[in-house]
């Protein structure tokens, strides 16, 4: 809903009178704009009341000028529209309204949520005011630029729950009740009543199913559909095979216990186990670069960078944000990156860029108590590491049976690309690095 681009090479057309318009400026490198302003650039005439007009900048200017109408004839009404969703997303579902007609909203305050295949995003109010009405409904399929609500900048809140007036009440009370004759005619006879309400006879062989009143049917969210489609595509595309190993977590947990307080004091973030697993995975991917590669048609693409996706479970479904350039990060950087992405995932604030790409995935089912599982590859990657719960189990150490904190690891890989030898050596290296964490620090 942006107007045509203004060409700085043509001569300026004459200014036109109101209706009112806002002016939008942005750099060429930006793909979309969320915030709008009536502030004009230096050298452009200013007006006490913004009017529609075209102003031209020098050809050397890095800016382009666009205009977009938000005003009605009296300049009081503005429109809230669906924002840009990302290059790979063309539409979404209007999941829910966060406000009601008559509610007061501030500028940039969310009033509705759009659910897409990948993320949930907000529709924000462009101005402070009162919501006049919604022009879309929950469940509608919407595209960027579609109007969702009309907002009045000066109207008082609508009294949507006002009581009926006295005149109306009197009119309603003065309506005569239906005649008694009609009541008698509406009543069925005893014979008819017994026929109507007689229980339906069922065969003894028919199953007794619960009544439909005890069931609820709701539309499947788009994110859940997307997850299901991707997982099924993964099963249909990859020749998936899973190999397992177990890790004695004694030394790693001791290292964490010994240095956790100093780590927080210096870096301002807690030392978790996930950063250790990420560092171990980085070392294993560098040792077995085929695990970091991917099939593309008839070619194999080897990546000289390592971007690790971390699976995060939310109330709306599984999301997999990416920590980039992990091979260049230390433990503190990784922990900060994980905490930032986890917070955004919980708040539903992940963007498309946060989840794009990734060369390898780590999924921690152990936080929910999973003892062992076979994770499914996150397309288009070629492998995924599954972490599980840490459980005290009897193991043999130097000929003695001891109770040790043990974790099962699972590596699911695309057998079209990765042979069993590379997969086993990859998982074995992760095991060695975690059981002797000093090797992580010395890069051995």
Angle (CA) 158-162-167 rounded to 5° is: 125
Please, how many CA atoms are within 13 Å of residue 144, restricted to the half-sphere of its CB?
A: 15
| Cα 298 from Cα 304, distance rounded (Å) | 20
| Cα 310 from Cα 134, distance rounded (Å) | 38
C-alpha closest to that of 306 among 279, 324, 287: 324
Concatenating the DSSP letter of every residue in 29-69 gives T-S-----B-PPPTTS---SS-B-------TT-SEEEEEE-
Long-range contacts of 364-368 (CB under 8 A, 24+ apart): 364/274, 364/310, 364/311, 365/389, 366/390, 366/407, 368/313
- Rounded to the nearest 5°, which phi and psi values hold at 411? -120, 115
| Cα 94 from Cα 284, distance rounded (Å) | 43
Catalytic residue among 91, 140, 327, 415: 415
What lies within 8 Å, CB to CB, of 373 at 6+ separation is 365, 386, 388, 410
Per this entry, what is the length of the chain?
Answer: 444
Q: Which residue has the tokens 């397309």?
A: 379
Please give the span between the terminal C-alpha atoms of the chain, in angstroms, as a whole number: 57
Catalytic residue among 419, 432, 436, 443: 419
C-alpha closest to that of 37 among 55, 15, 52, 21: 21
Is 73 one of the annotated active-site residues of the chain?
no
Cα maximum dimension of the chain: 98
CA 320 vs. chain centroid, Å, equals: 9
C-alpha closest to that of 155 among 110, 107, 101, 82: 101
Q: Could you tell me if 64 and 2 are in contact, meaning their C-beta atoms sit under 8 angstroms apart?
A: no
| Cα 78 from Cα 125, distance rounded (Å) | 9
Is 1 one of the annotated active-site residues of the chain?
no
C-alpha closest to that of 30 among 84, 109, 108, 100: 84
Three-state DSSP class for 396? strand
Residues carrying an active site annotation: 415, 419
């Amino acid at each position: 809903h942006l107007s045509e681009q203004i060409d700085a090479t043509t001569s300026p057309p004459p200014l036109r009178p109101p209706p009112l318009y806002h002016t939008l400026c942005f750099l060429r490198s930006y793909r979309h704009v969320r915030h709008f302003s009536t502030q004009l650039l230096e050298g452009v005439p200013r007006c006490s009341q913004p009017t529609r007009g075209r102003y031209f900048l020098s050809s050397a200017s890095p800016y382009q000028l666009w205009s977009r109408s938000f005003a009605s004839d009296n300049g009081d009404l503005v429109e809230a529209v669906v924002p840009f969703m990302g290059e790979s997303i063309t539409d979404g579902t209007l999941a829910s309204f966060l406000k009601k007609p008559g509610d007061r909203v501030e500028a940039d305050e969310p009033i509705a949520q759009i659910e897409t295949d990948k993320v949930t995003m907000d529709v924000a109010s462009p101005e402070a005011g009162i919501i006049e009405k919604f022009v879309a409904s929950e469940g509608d399929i919407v595209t960027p630029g579609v109007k969702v609500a009309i907002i009045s900048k000066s109207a008082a809140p609508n009294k949507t729950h006002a009581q009926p007036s006295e005149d109306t009440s009197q009119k309603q009370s003065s309506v005569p009740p239906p005649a008694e004759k009609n009541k008698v005619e509406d009543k069925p006879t005893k014979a008819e009543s017994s026929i109507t309400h007689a229980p339906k006879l069922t065969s003894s062989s028919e199953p007794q199913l619960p009544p439909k009143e005890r069931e609820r049917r709701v539309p499947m969210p788009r994110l859940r559909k997307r997850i299901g489609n991707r997982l099924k595509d993964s099963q249909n595309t990859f020749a998936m095979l899973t190999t397992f190993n177990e890790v004695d977590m004694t030394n790693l947990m001791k290292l964490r216990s010994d240095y956790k307080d100093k780590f927080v004091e210096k870096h301002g973030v807690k030392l978790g186990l996930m950063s250790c697993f990420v560092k171990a995975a980085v070392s294993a991917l560098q040792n077995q670069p085929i695990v970091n590669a991917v099939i593309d048609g008839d070619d194999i693409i080897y990546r000289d960078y390592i971007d690790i996706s971390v699976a995060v479970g939310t109330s709306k479904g599984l999301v997999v944000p990416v920590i980039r350039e992990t091979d260049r990060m230390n433990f503190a950087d990784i922990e900060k990156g994980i905490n930032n992405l986890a917070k955004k995932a919980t708040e539903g604030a992940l963007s498309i860029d946060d989840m794009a790409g990734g060369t390898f995935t780590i999924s921690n089912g152990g936080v929910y108590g999973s003892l062992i599982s076979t994770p499914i590859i996150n397309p288009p990657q070629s492998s995924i590491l599954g972490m599980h719960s840490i459980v005290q189990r009897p193991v043999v150490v130097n000929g003695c049976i001891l109770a040790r904190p043990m974790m099962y690891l699972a590596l699911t890989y695309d057998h079209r690309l990765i042979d069993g030898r590379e997969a086993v050596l990859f998982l074995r290296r992760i095991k060695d690095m975690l059981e002797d964490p000093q090797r992580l620090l010395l890069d051995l």
